[in-house]
Structure 1
């Protein structure tokens, strides 16, 4: 008989490090839940930010907290209303424990067993390893929120039989080599848009492999002119900003374009270079001044923009459309590939803190993963 014993890497107080690995309650499956024995989890900047910035980030979370969004593993239990999965199934899903609506340690990723919502979970084929699958969830959800929600770009949903470029509109993804960017390119193509993206030249081949039609160097001093020339008066579907300078560039380019002049912002502005003193004050000042500038430019130029919150797709139909209706078939027929490539940092809950520190030093076109 299965006798579960759970452990987790807890953030026990604001700014506390390292994470404390200790026993955790084994979760109970509600009617629409899936309980997964985690085999691989991925590290995202937002989890490290919660540890470093304390209650400035996710102030609704109560200590001790189990962080983490990205889970890949095997189903061990399902709720009474779940018929898509059974014990033993290999799955990937977005753990929602850090969201304001959930706020539930049982739904955090950094533990041996995690509760996932059935409609935010996808089966993975045998050809995809747990380490590969773990890079996807938060990146997929962020891109999906920016693309498909009614308060964002409101794009057409992805399907496995949509012809790339069939909608005749250009979708800009600034920061294609980020984990979100790698998934945004694929979702945009599967939704029928012509995707233009930016990255450093060393990652251009990967961007084309994922389906981008045009790839630009974001360090090009003439990037605005280059983008406008490539758009060539064709309609735009909007833009997704995932890196420094993206939203500002699109704010200058979009007034000269026709189509959906909206920017979904997937990253927050930060001082550059990073400050070495009065860090928090300078971060706040940068954020406020950036928002004022964007508000004024958007209002005077007729450009809409909004920050993305990657948990809002849970209950508005977008999550189900992606994780239930699209990803299972797309992963099975290999029209969607897990990206970026995982960097397997180590094994076990006790190395997650070290993985945080490794990720903080910066990775490009890769994502840090820990096996369990």
Structure 2
């Protein structure tokens, strides 16, 4: 091997430059708090950090989706609760009016209160959320109403997805839109699932939650009190009750039965809404726990241990100082000194 004075000089200079770079790297890690400040620092580690960040961002988006869904479900729960309270009042009045001590005039006066409840109930059944979408129109959330006047049965109302509602459409296109009220609903993704895609319905998947409902099912009754061909919903049963009282007659027993069946159905829907809200909370807690473990892993990969960083900086500074001292001595030597 050929040895020259330049070799001593180059080796010493390279050593100093390497130690200087080590000092700069240690100082940068301490100042930024990160071990990875450039792709070249740790290409594999940086790729893992990016993947972890993407996953945590997705979890945050699911949490936002869940908050939105809870808000929508709270509005639906309010509408259902108001309907239940109104129907409970109607039931009390109906049972009262069955008593033979009440006159035709008393029943007509009660019919006025029933008429006000009908208007309130219609408003609840056509309730819109904060985005202006119908809560009880299945997947037809942007229609004028979920329950419309039935032109073929004047004085009564039909769910837009019912045969009576579809028949009331002005055009075939509108009929197709009305028919969508029976299919699907509004869903949001609140967690990871098998394919991480939103489907047509939740299919029992806890990762998806429904935020609108099919009004035809929510407000459906047995229909024993309504005339033939009229949509069997609670609103029409109330209309039959009102008209009977206006005529001075006692309430038909079938109306009371329909009110009872509607109350059972609405309470079932309200309980199911509570179940959806619980699913959202469960998914949120699971997401936060998962995100915590991901954050710990990201910190291991990316963030600097301050104590270790200070130790590494001190070692690099000492090594640099020693390299500089050695270089100073070696720089003053010649090849003859080396041979001697």
TM-score by length of 2: 0.24
More helix by share: 2
Return the index of the structure with the highest Cα Rg.
2
TM-score by length of 1: 0.22
More strand by share: 1
